[in-house]
Amino acid sequence: MSNREDKKGIVDFLRQHMEKKTVAFHMPGHKGAAFYEEFGYGGFLAALADADITEIPGADNLFQAEDVILATMKKYERLYGAKKSYLLVNGTSGGILASILSTVPKGRKLIMARNCHKSVFNALALAHAEPVYVYPELISEYGISGAVPPDEIKRLLEQNPEAEAVILPSPNYYGICSDISAIAEAVHQAGKILIVDQAHGAHLKFFAEENTAMVKTCSHFDCTGSPAVKKAVKLPRPAEEQGADITINSIHKTLGSFTQSAVLNVNTDRIDLDALEDKLQMIESSSPSYLLMASLDMNAEIILQHGKELFARWQENLEFFYKEAEKISGLKIMRPKSSEMDSTKLNLDMSRLGLSGDMLEEALMKKGIYCELVTGNILMCMSGIGNTREDYERLLLALREVANDNNEKLFFADKRYKGKCPDFGPLEFCRIPVEKVRVKIDDAAGRICAASIIPYPPGIPIACPGERITEELAVYVKKLRERGEKVIGVTENGEITVGK
């Protein structure tokens, strides 16, 4: 029997995983049942199957919300200060598709960060729109994308007056934020639309409020300005407050709703709501899950009623974590100086002890701690609203143990892990192929990419349609596949789609 046939299926896997009682520093943000039980939803969730309904009388309709769904939308408008909030049952991915389809007409241009999520590339294909790539800064020590420079956006807007909109992720997967205020100013001066993919920053709005409240009362911050405390926990402002026309938040990633649920906020009067709503109903299921929508409602209620205490708690836990982490010899925290950081993402680097991100992930997993993302030497732990002080303590304890176990390697600096992520960009952009063919990775160098090649996670394409594939890139993709990593855009037998 093959390995595949041995597996019993999803439920068995989940049962086994649940029994392990792991610590979750990965999505979703609620981190499990205890979060909901704390706020009185235990009974509701115990009978979840009974709440799995359809549009029965009184249950309203997602695509023409007038009653209970509208009430939940209003809660989000209040929470984010948005002009209009839409509940999404197909993640931020769905919100991105609808936003682009409704703002970029066929054949027109979209200025987009090259490190955008694959849903943006999918939207381009559906909209028959042309991309103009803006390259984010490179954090060369780690080979990852940093912030998107506002000056570059300004330059591309001037060069491409026929562009309709601009989209970028902020924070990105590692928590690196762009200067949205400066970007919004440039975009609006050019009369265009700014869409911010805030999939990883749904919580920023509430931290911003928490910070303001704390600074006002001086109860928690040292008002004379202790740099150590402020540096650890001061989070960037949300894009809603920095001029973005549309922001899309994966509530499920860091806050308290179920996986796949998200909220799209319209923050200005520049958006055609009819066009947006038309696209939302086009790309989302006509049977939206009441379980997902109910989870958005639970999250909204919990934040409305207990947000102050919850975000203060999260903030304290982060301060505690960063303070203790500093004492662990050999552990470095990745925090580029040039950009504002969403410090809820804990970017751990133990390469000084000879450990790559993969090795650190493995070591932590053996201790029951599951993390979100590995890139080269970085292991990113994604904290969420549901993480408890005990979770941070267990992570710290595990890191101390790993550091102790690998301590002697400190003295063999030449044996340090050197596996940086390669920097391939910018690749030569030709044009998006119409006629396509599949070729083996070995034969791909020099061909024009026709379907994005996306190592997942993080889900950021390393080659996009229209870009010429280099030898170096093809070799890297082959290596990833040999290591058993998931690379979207590469078939099971190692083929990729290129122009004919």
Q: Residues interacting with ligand PLP, by CB under 6 A?
A: 91-93, 117, 119, 169, 173, 197, 199-200, 250, 262, 459
Least Å distance between CB 75 and ligand PLP? 19
261/406 with CB nearer ligand PLP: 261
Least Å distance between CB 26 and ligand PLP? 11
114/117 with CB nearer ligand PLP: 117
382/444 with CB nearer ligand PLP: 382
Least Å distance between CB 263 and ligand PLP? 10
Least Å distance between CB 175 and ligand PLP? 11
Q: Which of 99, 186, 92, 95 is CA-nearest to residue 134?
A: 186
Least Å distance between CB 143 and ligand PLP? 17
Helix (H) or strand (E) segment spanning residue 498 = strand 495-499
325/382 with CB nearer ligand PLP: 382
How far apart CA 61 and CA 296 sit, in angstroms, is 15
SS3 content of the chain, % helix, strand, coil (to 5): 45, 15, 40
Least Å distance between CB 200 and ligand PLP? 6
Least Å distance between CB 104 and ligand PLP? 17
Least Å distance between CB 342 and ligand PLP? 12
How far apart CA 7 and CA 187 sit, in angstroms, is 51
Q: Which of 372, 424, 369 is CA-nearest to residue 397?
A: 369
459/465 with CB nearer ligand PLP: 459
Tell me the two tokens of residue 144.
């990852």
308 to 176, 205, 304, 315, 375: CA distances (angstroms): 25, 12, 8, 11, 34
The pair phi, psi for residue 365, each rounded to 5°, is -60, -35
How far apart CA 25 and CA 346 sit, in angstroms, is 9
307/458 with CB nearer ligand PLP: 458
191: left (phi over 0), alpha (psi -120 to 50) or beta: left
What residue ranges in 99-156 does DSSP mark as E strands?
A: 109-113, 130-134, 138-139, 144-145
How many other CB atoms sit within 10 Å of the CB of residue 395? 24
Least Å distance between CB 253 and ligand PLP? 6
90/211 with CB nearer ligand PLP: 90
73/396 with CB nearer ligand PLP: 73
CA trace torsion 95, 97, 102, 103 (10° rounding): 100
On whether the CB atoms of residues 156 and 61 are closer than 8 A, the answer is no
On whether the CB atoms of residues 164 and 191 are closer than 8 A, the answer is no
Least Å distance between CB 283 and ligand PLP? 12
Q: Which residue is nearest to ligand PLP (CB)?
A: 91
* Residue type for position 126: L
299/406 with CB nearer ligand PLP: 299
Residues 6+ apart with CB under 8 A from 371: 25, 26, 361, 364, 365, 379, 380, 381, 382
On whether the CB atoms of residues 174 and 147 are closer than 8 A, the answer is no
72/211 with CB nearer ligand PLP: 72
How far apart CA 475 and CA 482 sit, in angstroms, is 11
341: left (phi over 0), alpha (psi -120 to 50) or beta: beta
How far apart CA 449 and CA 495 sit, in angstroms, is 12
177/355 with CB nearer ligand PLP: 177
Least Å distance between CB 457 and ligand PLP? 7
